[in-house]
Structure 1
Amino acid sequence: MDARLSDLAEQLLLIERELRILGWWESVSPTAQDLASQEPFCVDTLNFAQWLQWIFLPRMKIIIESDSGLPERSGIRPMAEVVYQSDTHNVAALLDALGEFDRLIEHR
């Protein structure tokens, strides 16, 4: 695994860590139906932390492990800023981790 992919994998672990610290890491998966939502970010079936845990992190891990082509842009932090706009102080570390992920994706 090249250094960039390694950095991205490490950043995914930091995002997971922040979700755990916030108490948002869940031990039970949402239903298959909830995970199969066609809406962006599964907004109709999952909250943003669930989407990060059950959709974003697993998909990015697969992409990194298979080296199957990273997206050219990310933009996860701006979405998180909208979702958590009333609680930015408590989620600052999560926002930072997501922002660093965005930066790593966009700086090839």
Structure 2
Amino acid sequence: MDRRVPALAEQLLLIERELRVLGAWAMEAPSPEALASQEPFCVDTLSFEQWLQWIFLPRMKTILEEGRALPSVSGILAMAEMVYQNDQARVSRLMEALERFDQLIGGHPA
């Protein structure tokens, strides 16, 4: 097992927690059509928070649980910086969790 798995699992929980704290955790899933977008981050059909909740978190949890190969790079922080460019103070803890996720995926020690 990849030694990063426990730290990555913890980061996924922190990301979920921050979405909940920010009031950005939805109780209902977007439509199947919205979830099926082929655009990066589903920018044409979902908000960034929806993408994190309904696409990113479930996919990463499945990868970790099934012991599949981890991605070699992650650019989630860069996307978050664009999305929250005028609101970074409010989402600082979410940004920190996303940054740490990117670092771990990139092979930086836990």
For 1:67 and 1:2, how far apart are their aligned partners in 2? 8
Describe the superposition over 1:30-88 as per-residue Cα deviations: whole angstroms up to 9, x where unpaired: 01010001111111110000000000000000001111100000111111000100000
Other-structure match for 2:22? 22
Q: State how many pairs are aligned.
A: 108
Q: Aligned with 2:89: secondary structure?
A: coil
Q: How does 1:68-83 map to 2 (within 5 A)?
A: 68-83=68-83
Q: How does 1:97-108 map to 2 (within 5 A)?
A: 97-107=97-107
Shift in alpha-carbon separation, 1:73–1:2, aligned structure 2, 3 A = closer
For 1:43 and 1:75, how far apart are their aligned partners in 2? 15
Unpaired stretches in structure 2, ≥5 consecutive residues: none
Report runs of 4+ in structure 1 exceeding 3 Å deviation.
none
For 1:84 and 1:96, how far apart are their aligned partners in 2? 13
Percent identity, please: 62
Q: Say whether 1:87 aligns with 2:99.
A: no
Unpaired stretches in structure 1, ≥5 consecutive residues: none
Other-structure match for 2:31? 31
- Partner AA of 1:29 in structure 2: A
TM-score in terms of structure 1 length: 0.96
For 2:11 and 2:60, how far apart are their aligned partners in 1? 11
For 1:99 and 1:67, how far apart are their aligned partners in 2? 22
TM-score in terms of structure 2 length: 0.94
